[in-house]
Amino acid sequence: MRIVLIGMRGSGKSTIGKILARKLNWKYIETDRLIEKKESQKISRLVEKYGWERFRELETEVIQSLGNTERSVIASGGGVILNEENMKILKNNSITIWLQANILTLIERCGMDKNRPFLTDGKTIEDDLKTTLIQREVLYRRYADFSVVNEYKTEEQVACEILEHKICCIIGHPVAHSLSPIMHNTAYKALGLNYIFLPFDVTDLKSAVTSIKNLGIVGCAVTVPHKIKVMKYLDKIDETAKKIGAVNTIINLKGTLTGLNTDWSGALDALKEKTELAGKNVALIGAGGAARAIAYGLKQEAAYVTVFNRNKGHGKELVKDLHLDSYIPLKESTKLDGFDIVINAISVGLESRQSPLTKKSLNQKQVVFDIVYFPRMTRFLKAAKEVGCSIITGDRMLLHCVKRQFELFTGKRIPVEILEDAIC
């Protein structure tokens, strides 16, 4: 995770960036200074000799060299937003903040820099800044996750305002497909809340958890493959999540990170839209974090749960931990006539067109549930529908999970209909 500051020359990116880096104990990076170091000359001299086009080429080279630099505050050049590819790199796993200031403030600050070349054909610095701001304002709005006005307050106050912003997120690998950001952000807007929800593709889990604490991120959703491994990096685990052995939600309360699990209740809510659960025989495919949560919920509802899994050790461990009914190797799941409900709780449909079962394994009396929601109609669900099964798509579980997470993050209730509209 990192912070990227965007905005006009004179908006305070350098000064505030250094303060943020100090407060977070992160690395400070200023792209303009990297260009000057690379070329061994000031930007004013560089532009005078080679023009703005050459400067933009060098800016791209510098940004590409940064890659996915973690735990850093990056102060970008004012025109970085003109290059879409540069912004894709900078926004990856970043909180992008637009520092705003009115034109008079910019003129006052930039008037001190007599050597900075103009960006337009304007005759005065006022004309140059006005024209440039008009050209760029729409792009700053497009790329910023949120904006902060840097006027009539100290740089220290602006930095504190940034760190006090209500940020929530999802961590996983991959997360580009996730519907959580659009649902959470739609709900925040509907209730007029000053929150924002961002996706972070995380491979270094320990570093990500530290960043959540440092940045004061209010709440975090956790998805594959981190639901079990994340537990060892948290300060507290609630009792239900302990029993399940997996976490899909983190709450940050004054720097104390507590892990919870809303997967189990989300799955039950989705299942109850189609069927009763007490006394039903359930075939549960998978033994990972989501499977553990679903198994826990089913057990609370007095269902009989049989675990099907490729890895014998993981499957038997789940049965033992949650006192389930039995384990059967996945390769023996060719006929499931004795089950009322069949649930796929592995991510096979997310990364490919594969299915954990063929339609020969199913019958039309069954309820079939796939927790994978991208694509919405997985190959597994298509096969079930062809057989005549009653199907439940993964987005139903997600909706109920997000509803509960939203309440935990904000303390507010949200109608599920608002979340449904967000992904229609």
Could you give the number of structural domains in the chain?
Answer: 3
| Residues of the domain holding 220 | 166-261+404-422
Instruction: Work out the average pLDDT over 114-138.
Output: 81
Whether 307 is in a domain gets the answer: yes
Residues 249 and 280 in one domain: no
The DSSP result for 252-286, as a single string, is EETTEEEEE--HHHHHHHHHHTT---TT-EEEEE-
Q: How buried is residue 134: exposed, middle or buried, by Cβ count under 10 Å (0-12/13-18/19+)?
A: exposed
Backbone conformation region of residue 254, classed left if phi is above 0, alpha if psi is from -120 to 50, else beta: left
Q: What is the mean pLDDT of residues 16-33?
A: 97
Rounded-to-10 torsion of CA 264, 269, 273, 277: 50
Q: Mean per-residue pLDDT for 174-187?
A: 94
Please say if 227 is a catalytic residue: yes
Element of type H or E holding 73: strand 72-75
Arithmetic mean of pLDDT over the chain = 93
**Residue 178 sits in the same domain as residue 156:** no
Query: How much is the pLDDT for 23?
Result: 96
- For 5-29, what is the mean pLDDT? 96
Residue 119 has pLDDT above 80, yes or no: no
Instruction: For residue 59, give the nearest of 42, 79, 41, 29 by alpha carbon.
Output: 79
- Residue 25 pLDDT level (bands cut at 50, 70, 90): very high
- 114 has pLDDT over 70: no
Q: What is the pLDDT of residue 128?
A: 83
- Are 75 and 151 in a shared domain? yes
Instruction: Tell whether the model's pLDDT for residue 348 goes beyond 80.
Output: no
The verdict on 31 and 73 lying in the same domain is yes
Q: Which of 13, 227, 280, 403 is catalytic?
A: 227
Examine the domain organization and report whether 139 and 71 are in the same domain: yes
Q: Which whole number is the average pLDDT over 22-35?
A: 96
pLDDT of residue 118: 74
pLDDT digits (tens, 9 = 90+) for 263-297: 999 999 999 999 999 999 999 999 999 999 999 99
Both 132 and 246 in a single domain?
A: no
What average pLDDT score do residues 40-47 get?
92
pLDDT of residue 62: 96
Residue 69 near residue 59, CB atoms below 8 Å: no
Say yes or no: 248 and 276 in one domain: no
Q: Tokens representing 192?
A: 């007029």
Q: Are residues 369 and 417 in the same domain?
A: no
Instruction: Give yes or no: residues 155 and 296 share one domain.
Output: no
Of the residues 136, 163, 190, the one at which a domain ends? 163
Q: Residue 116 pLDDT > 90, yes or no?
A: no
325-342 exposure pattern, b = at least 16 Cβ within 10 A, e = fewer: eebbebeebeebeebbbb
CB of 123 closer than 8 Å to CB of 32: no
Do 129 and 111 belong together in one domain?
yes
With respect to residue 397, please indicate whether it lies within any of the assigned structural domains: no
Q: Is residue 233 part of a domain?
A: yes
Stretch among 74-83, 190-199, 247-256, 327-336 having the lowest mean pLDDT = 327-336
- Residue 275, in any domain of the structure: yes
Looking at the fold, whether 236 and 335 belong to one and the same domain comes out as no
Q: What confidence score (pLDDT) does residue 332 get?
A: 86
Question: What pLDDT, on a 0 to 100 scale, did the predictor assign at position 115?
Answer: 64
Whether 225 is in a domain gets the answer yes
Say whether pLDDT at 329 is over 80.
yes
**What is the rounded CA–CA span in Å between residue 94 and residue 100?**
19
Q: Are residues 37 and 54 in the same domain?
A: yes
CATH code of the domain covering residue 185: 3.40.50.10860
| Residue-wise pLDDT tens digits, 364-380 | 999 999 999 988 999 99
Kindly give the residue spans of alpha helices, DSSP state H, lying in 262-354.
263-272, 289-300, 312-322, 348-351
Which residue among 145, 163, 181 closes a domain? 163
pLDDT band of 127, cuts 50, 70, 90: confident
Of 62-66, 100-104, 345-349, 352-356, the poorest mean pLDDT is in 352-356
